[in-house]
Structure 1
Amino acid sequence: MKQLKFSHQLCFPIYALSRLITSHYQPLLGELDLTYPQYLVMLLLWEHQSMNVKTLGETLMLDSGTLTPLLKRLEAKKLIKRVRSKEDERVVNIQLTPQGVALEQQAAQIPLRLADSLGVTPAEVQELKDAVTPLLYRLKPALKC
């Protein structure tokens, strides 16, 4: 059956590429004492300054069982703080600490260093991102986060 040939599958190249790209992040993030998921949280916080846990989970497509321990580790590193909303105590906002803000400067070169490590140009990175992002967000509603 032609449709079951390994070479015709979409899943493998995306899966393998994801693993390879993540492995190229590891030494760069190791310099900052961050894991890849922690880096993603920090990217969102550097961009938005503060986000509630629910929005973070939805954006990163992570359930609370995965996100909560990740946030606790970032808090233990004194990079973030969890603050209950005064309007609704059920809402927990995540904010950067001064150390978390300062880490942004150290992380600023990671995207360029990653592209260099992968042997691609920033334009090629953007091209790949532009190709996969629409599919990701089309499929996202089917996920149970």
Structure 2
Amino acid sequence: MNDPLELEQQVCFALSVAARSVVAVYRPLLEPMGLTHPQYLVMLALWQHAPLSVRKLSTLLQLDPGTLSPLLKRLESIGYLRRERDPKDERSLAVTLTPSGRDLREQALKIPPAVVDRLGMPLDELMSLHAALTRVISAAT
């Protein structure tokens, strides 16, 4: 019988190592774009949904506003987005893409196939993994 506290048997250990390893695959692909992995996630959300309130972006990315704010400031300083008061609600900050932030999407289209290639796993296996991880996220929240 396996020890229930055996490191290699822990889901949290496998997820932690897998997350670090996959982010490491993204790093050299994102560097030419001037993005870190968390910044890339922000850009993905904006390419899909912009403009967004900071609150909505925070919800989409499942990040608290205190974690999201420095990411937005950095992306704004490199010219990929703007944060402005929402004219409909002065209490709310709206996040919009700049032209260079929108243009960056074209370069980003190369990232998913490059990641699949570098992982060397069949696409259907990666899709199954994604579905399983989505169920884990749902169960854990």
Any residues of structure 2 matched to 1:54-73 within 5 Å, and which? 54-73=55-74
Residue 61 of structure 1: how far off its partner (Å): 1.8
Percent of aligned pairs sharing the same letter: 41
Deviation per CA, 1:75-117: give whole Å up to 9, x if none.
Answer: 0111001121122111111111100110000000100001111
Alignment partner of 2:88: what SS? coil
Unpaired runs of 5+ in structure 1? 141-145
Distance in structure 2 (CA, Å) of the matches to 1:117 and 1:58: 30
Alignment partner of 2:140: what SS? helix
Residue 8 of structure 1: how far off its partner (Å): 2.2
- Corresponding residue for 1:79? 80
Amino acid at match of 1:125: L
Equivalent pairs counted in the alignment come to 140
Identify which of structures 1 and 2 has the higher relative contact order when contacts are C-alpha pairs closer than 8 Å and 6+ apart. 1
Report the aligned-residue RMSD: 1.3
Alignment partner of 1:3: what SS? coil
Any residues of structure 2 matched to 1:64-143 within 5 Å, and which? 64-140=65-141
Amino acid at match of 2:129: L
Distance in structure 1 (CA, Å) of the matches to 2:139 and 2:53: 24
- Corresponding residue for 1:13? 14
Deviation per CA, 1:16-57: give whole Å up to 9, x if none.
Answer: 000000000000000111000000000011111211111111
Unpaired runs of 5+ in structure 2? none
Alignment partner of 1:31: what SS? helix
Amino acid at match of 1:70: L
Q: Is the 8 A contact 1:112 1:122 kept in 2?
A: no
Amino acid at match of 1:35: T
Amino acid at match of 1:128: L
Alignment partner of 2:89: what SS? coil
Residue 58 of structure 1: how far off its partner (Å): 1.6
- Corresponding residue for 1:143? none
Alignment partner of 2:4: what SS? helix
More divergent stretch after superposition (70-79 vs 119-128): 119-128
- Give the alignment's TM-score, normalised by structure 2: 0.93
Q: Does 1:39 align with 2:40?
A: yes
- Give the alignment's TM-score, normalised by structure 1: 0.91
